[in-house]
Amino acid sequence: MPAPSSADATDRRTLGVEFIGYLLASGLALGVDTGTYAAALALGCPLALAACLGFLAGLGCAYLCSVRCVFRVRRLQDRAQEFAVFGAVGIAGLLLMQALLWLFVQRLHIAPVPAKLLTAVPVFLFNFGIRKALLFRRPPGPSAAPLRLEAAR
């Protein structure tokens, strides 16, 4: 087995810095999400609607922090497409969060706000891994072009 190269060490350091940066950005987004969620619940919104409103506020915060402060490599050239993929991953994370909220609130009888906070770790890991893989890494191969989404014909 070959010895790790300095490029491998640099890639691991970069991944670690991005992970920590994304963790901080996600912490801020979680605060925005949870604050919006709690405010919506206080205003009488149903649980699922409150979670969706919180999600949308947190999604905007997470995207802005991710592209401005965390990730330096971006695979997509078109920012609208990038946001669409970022949002689609977020929707998948939202579905995971909704399933976990249902489990925690309806089945385990945990209060809604603490239950929301319990969903943070699995949803964070899911979102970071998928977004990093799809949006924020170099294309494979030395001469590969950046990923471009094309409309179906």
- The secondary structure of 49-103 as a DSSP string is HHHHHHHHHHHHHHHHHIIIII-S----S-HHHHHHHHHHHHHHHHHHHHHHHII
pLDDT confidence of residue 153: 43
The domain segmentation of the chain, as residue ranges, is 14-134
Structure tokens at 133: 């893989």
Residues of the chain under the 50 pLDDT cut: 152-153
HSE-CB for 24 with a 13 A CA cutoff? 11
pLDDT confidence of residue 60: 92
pLDDT confidence of residue 120: 82
Residues 89, 131 contacting (CB under 8 angstroms): yes
